[in-house]
Every structure is written in structure tokens, then in C-alpha cells.
A and B are shown apart, each in its own frame.
Chain A
Amino acid sequence: MDTIITDNSLKGKMITLFGENLRSNFSSDSEHIRSIRLQAIERFRELGFPSPTEEKWRSTNLGKTLMLEYVQHFAPLEKDIDVRKVFQCEVFDLDTILVAQYNGWLVNKGETLTSLPNGTVIGSLADAMRQYPEIFEKHYGKYADMQHDGLNALNTAFAQDGLFIYVPEGVTVEKPVQIINLIDLKENFFVQPRNLIVLEKGASLRLVHCDHSLRHKESLINNVSEFYVGEGAYLDHYKIQNKDNSSTLITTTFFHQERESRVSTNTIVLHGGVVRNNISVKLAGEYAEADILGLYLVDREQHVDTHVHVDHAVPHCTSNEMFKGILDDQASGVFNGHILVRREAQKTLAYQNNRNLLLTDKARIHTKPHLEIYADDVKCSHGATVGQLDPEAMFYLRTRGIGEHAARMLLMYAFAAEVIGKISIQALRERIDELVAKRLRGELTICDQCVIDCREKRPVSFDIDLSKI
């Protein structure tokens, strides 16, 4: 009962906080944003935080997380932050456009909203809300379904900053954009980043989204992203999550796809306390295609929960889901893949595959394919496997002199390679490949990764070179 009471109290606290902010930090909102906020808080009041009694949250209990006290910031901690003092760039080969979110606020070398010569705008959602109201009126809050999801409603009520990208019609953003989401606070922290990415007709974007934490404090992140992928547009999207054991990371990503658009999204969980990834794809225009891929590697007490929802709303669309997981020790996982093929969506091709390796008797995975098909001329398939390493392959490798440990490594790595091999940015693929190998060897610690090295209490530094993520 404690859980529920605390949940209610956090819920109550959030509603009170909302009222206070409406008069202060949210007071400069446009009418449009304000009305969305008000709807959202009402919806949150009705829905509250998810509870394990809901089917979608049956295997992931946020009770413990919601019991904690968190600090929240509704304005950047240091308003005139000199980013260059916080971040030390060690760039020698600049081949990504790098932006960073620091404790929820977008920091980009002092310039929070950048326009490229081709008209692409990249930067802070907060700034973009003020500068591009017409884009927000058209897209913001349109794809994220808050009717059924209290966390999404809560994010929408409080959303202040996050990543905003606008790619105009026909424009290809040549370099991948990389956003690094850093949490670096001494207190327990609750942050709700909000991202909006709009690709107009025929636009093309590659986006790498990294989630990290710098200190081992309890953090709760409730992240919501909306992607609008216009007619014939192409989005290549990666989410790399490497969080510490005391973090709860909930990311909810909505992709809205127009006619003949293509999306490839790949979620790679290297480390995390409790990780919940909700991925929702709406195929709203004919001949749209989505590849929804993922890899999760968890051990000890870690928990990773993936919910994928693909909505085939119109005919002739293709979706292809492939999620693979390796679970060690007492780690637990959930995969829930819902494919909805509506009555009109004839000639749909929808595939779903979830494969899991359990390395111990105590590791657990709940995998649930859920196909809901109302059209009759479609091709849909799903498969889910839960297994151990193939003993035949183990024996084969050992007869070549490869010891048991190395043989296990090779096989685990091979299992993961199928997802890694689909990363189309070569430098990223190589780096992820290396990180996964390291992770499987047990050498990857939260302090030993990516761009960040906080061990020597140096200023946070990062490196723009993608091959050094």
C-alpha cells in the first residue's frame, strides 16, 4: 500500500507543481502550448502514474522509483552557462553535428538554436517553441498519444526543453546529428525532456541519440519524442542507452510516417537500472516502410522493457521488427510487440521477431507478440525465441581449441551482431560493435564509456568524433 500512497503523493505533488509553474515558468507560453499543457495535466490527473495493474505495465513496477523524493528544475540551473567551460571538446575530426542536453536543458556551445545554410534548424525545443509557432501548431503533441498514457500526459504538461530539428523539403542533412543527454546532479533528479523532429517531404536525416548519466544518483527520466516523417522522407535513428543502475529511464518515441517515407530506428541498451522503451510507429501514408530494431544487454538486477506498437493504418506498408536480448545474472526483460493492421490496410507486410538468450537460470524474459489484424490480404509473421547458447556450436568451437569462456563470448557476440550489422553509419557501427564486445566481456562499466570521462573530476568533456562515442 505504501507504493500507492507515495505514488498518489508524487502525483499530487506534480499537480501542485504544475499550478505553480503555470504562473511562473510556463507563463510565457503561447496560447497553443498553454492549451495543450492544460489538457495534458487534466489527463494526467485522471490517469496518474502507471501501475502494475495495467496490462502494459504488468512486468515493470515503478513503485520503488515513484516512492523516492526527486528534485526538479523548471529553469536551467545556471542561466548563463558557458557551455565551453562545462564541456571540453576534444574534436579533431568533426563529422557529426553535436548537441547536448544537460540535466534536461539543451546546451549547444552557447547557441541553443542553429540554422544551417540549407534551412535545417537544430537546437532547443524551448527556443523553437517561441521562434517557430507555426511548426508547433502543426505538429507538436499531434503524434504523441496522451489519452492512454499518464506518463506521456505528464511529460506534455511539463515539457519545456529538448531537441528540436526541422529539415525543410528536399533537404538532406549530410552529417549525422548526435544528441547526448547527460544527467549530472548531486541530488535525486526527475527530468522530462521533450523532442520534436520534423522531416518535410523528401528530407533526410540521421540522428544518434545517446542517454548517459554521470553520477550514481537516483534519476527518473520521462522522455517523449515525436517524429514527423513527411512524404518520401528518410529517417535513420539510433538510440544508445548507457545508464547506471540507479536510473529509471522511460523513453516514449512516436513516429508518424507519410507516404513512401522510410524509417529505421535502432535502440541499443548497453546498461541501465530500469529501462522502459515505448516505440510507436504509425504508417499513415501508403508505401511507407519502417525497420524497428533493437538490442538489449542486461545483467545483475537490471530490467529492460520494450513495448513496440506498429499501426498499419493504410494499404501497402511494410514494417519489420527485430529485437534481440542477452540477459545475464538475475536480469529481467519484457518484450511486447503489438502490430495493428486496420481494415483498410490491405497488402500490409508486417514482420516481428524477438530473440533472447538467457545466460543463467535466474534471468527472465517475458515476450509477448500481439497481432491484431482486421484486413484479409496481408502478410504478417511473428516469432519469439528464448534460449541458451547452442550446445552444438559450443562443442564445435571448443574442438577448435577455443576455451569455453571465449566460445561463449564468440556466440553471444554473434547473436548480437545481427542487429549491430544493420547500423548504416559505419563509424557508429564499429564503435557499437566494440562497445558490445566490451560489454559482453564484462569490461564496460558506466564510467568507461562513450565520450565521457568523469572519473578524474575533470570538467565533462566529450568528443564529437562518432567513432569515439
Chain B
Amino acid sequence: MLFIKDLEVSIEGKKILKGLTLEVKPGEVHAIMGPNGTGKSTLANVIAGRDLYEIGGGKVSYKGKDLLELSVEERANEGIFLGFQYPVEIPGVSMTNFLRTAVNERRAYHGLDPMPAGEFLRMMEEKKQLVEIHSQLASRSVNEGFSGGEKKRNEIFQMAMLEPELAILDETDSGLDIDALKVVANGVNKLRRPDNAFIVITHYQRLLDYIIPDFVHVLFNGRIVRSGGKELALELEEKGYEWLKAQAPA
């Protein structure tokens, strides 16, 4: 589904990713761990299409297409979803208006007519249950005045509405208490299917108690330095990132 080969990325002349290789297949959950500043969020943003970065080398293919050639919205409409570490507040745009636009833009991309309003509202109600959102979310502006936990739940809610094939969750666990974390993880687990995949980026192992990954990768200094099964996360938790730094090539 996603194949990244020797990806090199820099921002303002500073190299962040220095030859990253990763393959994700349908049905898989990949966790990417690593200390702060090693390029985890850069990877997520580059896949989503953020234009702040310069691609120095390597290639990224998604469903057989050259991903780097696609615009941000084309990637989204091809099934890529980025769950933001810091979801953006958009005062004045209601959740309903926002999601309806998003759902219908995607439908238009795939040659479908807009979703009838009734069907859309039913879908919203159904997906709200999934992340246990009970408030009058629909009339509120996107993320405006939401608590940290609400913002993260809202990301998962949007993911549920848009039904992506490849979801990248960028530190969705940061700033969440254990209850909120469970709700978020539970939402993700319910959305797992044989034909979709997740890349879960996290600093801590704790999220992976609830979202069980098939693979764990450790990103350090712009490269994946270790890959393994879910037990690698536990090993990291136990030994800390210092352990890696000692092992990593300079």
C-alpha cells in the first residue's frame, strides 16, 4: 500500500530524514517511536503533503502511484488521513459544514453525487458514538474551545467519518489522560479492517498497550534504526532511548 524508499527530507536546509525506508501493507498497524526531534512528525507531514519540506531524495509510492506528485487533497481523497498532533482551531466553520464539505469533496473526487443531508446526519450520529462524543459537536466550530482530549477525539471522529485506507496518527496520545487514551484507542481498534492500515506515531509505549501494533519501528536521527514486533516497544520502555543513542551510528 505504502512504500517509502531512502527518503531524504530537509527543512530550511536542515536535514531531518536521512534515508528512511518503510513498507506498510493493508491490514497492518505500524508504530513509529523515537525521541523528540528525530523526524517522526516530519514523516507524517511529508506523507500528508505539507509543502514546508524539501524532498532531497528517495521515493514514496502509494497504491502504485507516486505520492509526492499528488496534492494534499488528492492524497486525502485517495484515502490518506493525518491525525494531527496539534489539531487546528477554525473559528466560524462548524463541524457539520466542515465534514459535509470533506465528505462531499471526496465523493466528487470519486465521481459520486453529494451525500443526502439525512444520510450524512445519520452517519455523523453513528460515528460520534464510536469515540463517545456526546456534546452538541455539530454546531460547534472546528476544534474551537475544545479541550486537548476533545481535539484528539475529534481527530478520530473525523477519521471515522472519512474512512481512510491509510491513517497516520501523529502523537494522538500526547496530552491525554488514561480514560481519553482508552477512548481514542478503542475508536482506532473498531476501525481496523483487513483493507486499511495505520501508522501510529508515539513517544510513549503506553498507547501501544491499547492499540496493538504488528510492527514497531524506532526512528532515530532521521533513520529507522530498529524494527521489530510489539515487544520492541516494551524493550524501549524499559531501557529508554539512551540505550539506542549508545547503539546508533553517529
**A residues within 8 Å of B by Cβ?**
390, 392-393, 395-404, 406-407, 410-411, 413-418
CA–CA, A55 and B172, complex, Å: 54
Q: List, in ascending order, chain A residues with CB within 8 A of B105's CB.
A: 400-403, 406
B76 A401 Cβ-Cβ under 8 A: yes
| Interface: B222 (CB within 8 A) | no
Among the stretches B20-28, B95-103, B126-134, the one at the interface with A is B95-103
Q: A400-B98, A400-B158, A401-B109 are in contact. Are A414 and B76 (CB under 8 A)?
A: no
A400 B88 Cβ-Cβ under 8 A: no
The 5 residue pairs across chains A and B that have the minimum distance between CB atoms: A414-B92, A401-B76, A417-B92, A398-B72, A400-B102
A403 B73 Cβ-Cβ under 8 A: yes
A400 B76 Cβ-Cβ under 8 A: yes
Q: List, in ascending order, chain B residues with CB within 8 A of A415's CB.
A: 92
A73 smallest CB distance to B (angstroms): 44
CA–CA, A404 and B76, complex, Å: 12
A398 B92 Cβ-Cβ under 8 A: no
Q: List, in ascending order, chain B residues with CB within 8 A of A418's CB.
A: 91-92
- Taking A392-B88, A395-B72 as known contacts, 5 extra A-B pairs with beta carbons closer than 8 A to each other, sorted by chain A number, are A396-B87, A398-B73, A399-B49, A399-B75, A400-B98
Q: List, in ascending order, chain B residues with CB within 8 A of A400's CB.
A: 76, 98-99, 102, 105, 158, 162
27 sample A-B contacts, Cβ–Cβ < 8 Å, listed by A number = A392-B88, A393-B90, A395-B88, A398-B71, A398-B72, A398-B73, A398-B76, A399-B72, A399-B76, A399-B81, A400-B102, A400-B105, A400-B158, A400-B162, A401-B109, A401-B162, A402-B101, A402-B102, A404-B71, A406-B101, A407-B73, A410-B90, A411-B90, A413-B92, A414-B90, A414-B141, A416-B92
B109 A399 Cβ-Cβ under 8 A: no
A280 smallest CB distance to B (angstroms): 29
CA–CA, A396 and B90, complex, Å: 9
Q: List, in ascending order, chain B residues with CB within 8 A of A401's CB.
A: 73, 76-77, 102, 105-106, 109, 162
B interface SS class = helix
B102 A414 Cβ-Cβ under 8 A: no
B130 smallest CB distance to A (angstroms): 17
Interface digits, B66-90 against A, CB 8 Å rule (1 contact, 0 not)? 0000011101110001101001101
| Interface: B206 (CB within 8 A) | no
Interface residues on B, range: 20 to 34
| Interface: B93 (CB within 8 A) | yes
Q: List, in ascending order, chain B residues with CB within 8 A of A404's CB.
A: 71, 73
B75 smallest CB distance to A (angstroms): 8
CA–CA, A398 and B106, complex, Å: 11
CA–CA, A204 and B162, complex, Å: 49
Q: List, in ascending order, chain A residues with CB within 8 A of B50's CB.
A: 395
B93 A411 Cβ-Cβ under 8 A: yes
Identify which of A392, A398, A400, A417 gathers the most chain B CB atoms within 10 Å of its CB: A400
Residue of B48, B73, B82, B92 near A402 (CB, 8 A) is B73
B75, closest chain A residue (CB)? A399
Q: List, in ascending order, chain B residues with CB within 8 A of A393's CB.
A: 88, 90
CA–CA, A390 and B143, complex, Å: 15
A21 smallest CB distance to B (angstroms): 50
Q: List, in ascending order, chain A residues with CB within 8 A of B162's CB.
A: 400-401
A419, closest chain B residue (CB)? B92
A398, closest chain B residue (CB)? B72
B97 A410 Cβ-Cβ under 8 A: yes
A400, closest chain B residue (CB)? B102
Q: A396-B84, A400-B102 are in contact. Are A413 and B93 (CB under 8 A)?
A: yes
CA–CA, A392 and B51, complex, Å: 11
Q: List, in ascending order, chain B residues with CB within 8 A of A413's CB.
A: 92-93
Q: A397-B98, A401-B102 are in contact. Are A414 and B72 (CB under 8 A)?
A: no
B48, closest chain A residue (CB)? A399
A412 smallest CB distance to B (angstroms): 10
A70 smallest CB distance to B (angstroms): 41
Q: List, in ascending order, chain A residues with CB within 8 A of B48's CB.
A: 399
A322 smallest CB distance to B (angstroms): 13
Q: List, in ascending order, chain A residues with CB within 8 A of B88's CB.
A: 390, 392-393, 395-396
A406 smallest CB distance to B (angstroms): 6
List CB contacts (< 8 Å) of B113-159 with chain A: 141, 158
CA–CA, A414 and B140, complex, Å: 12
B73 A410 Cβ-Cβ under 8 A: no
CA–CA, A411 and B84, complex, Å: 19
Q: List, in ascending order, chain A residues with CB within 8 A of B71's CB.
A: 398, 404
CA–CA, A394 and B19, complex, Å: 29
CA–CA, A443 and B223, complex, Å: 50
CA–CA, A406 and B62, complex, Å: 25
A401, closest chain B residue (CB)? B76
B161, closest chain A residue (CB)? A400
A410 B72 Cβ-Cβ under 8 A: no
